[in-house]
Amino acid sequence: MGQPTLLITAYAKAPQNTSMYENYKYAGMVLEIHKESHIIINAEFTFLTTLAQDFFKRMVVGYDFSKDINPLIEDIKTDFLAPSQQSVIVALKVAHQRYKDSLEGRDKK
């Protein structure tokens, strides 16, 4: 039967001349999503500070990842004012597409 959750990772190139780029080269995220409810239940990010990691985690945990992510992207644009903002958005879009593809794959079984 497997786990009740699945783990999705996604990355995007970090902006040059930032500490994220110097340390990681990429903005990365790992999302744990409940398979039945599609709710993000846990998240980790490649931010250097614990505050940024915690802030972004609070933004995404509880979000229904089967839905349109444009409202979440708008929240990021409004409330996450950092040089890595666009990289985070790109990684989120990659994760969302990967999740949608996995849902389509499960539906075909």
Q: pLDDT digits over 32-42, tens only?
A: 999 999 999 99
Average pLDDT over the chain, rounded to an integer: 90
Least confident range of 11-15, 27-31, 60-64, 76-80: 11-15
38 Rama sector, left if φ>0, alpha if ψ -120 to 50, beta otherwise: left
Q: Look at the chain and count its residues.
A: 109
The CATH number corresponding to 5-108 among 3.30.428.10, 3.90.1010.10, 3.40.47.10, 3.40.640.10 equals 3.90.1010.10
Closest CA to 60 of 22, 8, 1: 8
pLDDT tens string 90-107: 999 999 999 999 988 776
pLDDT at position 75, please?
A: 96
Whether the CB-CB separation of 43 and 56 falls below 8 Å is answered with yes
| SS3 call for 22 | helix
**pLDDT higher than threshold 80 for residue 23:** no
| SS3 call for 101 | helix
**pLDDT higher than threshold 80 for residue 82:** yes
**pLDDT higher than threshold 80 for residue 22:** no
Domain-by-domain residue ranges, the chain?
5-108
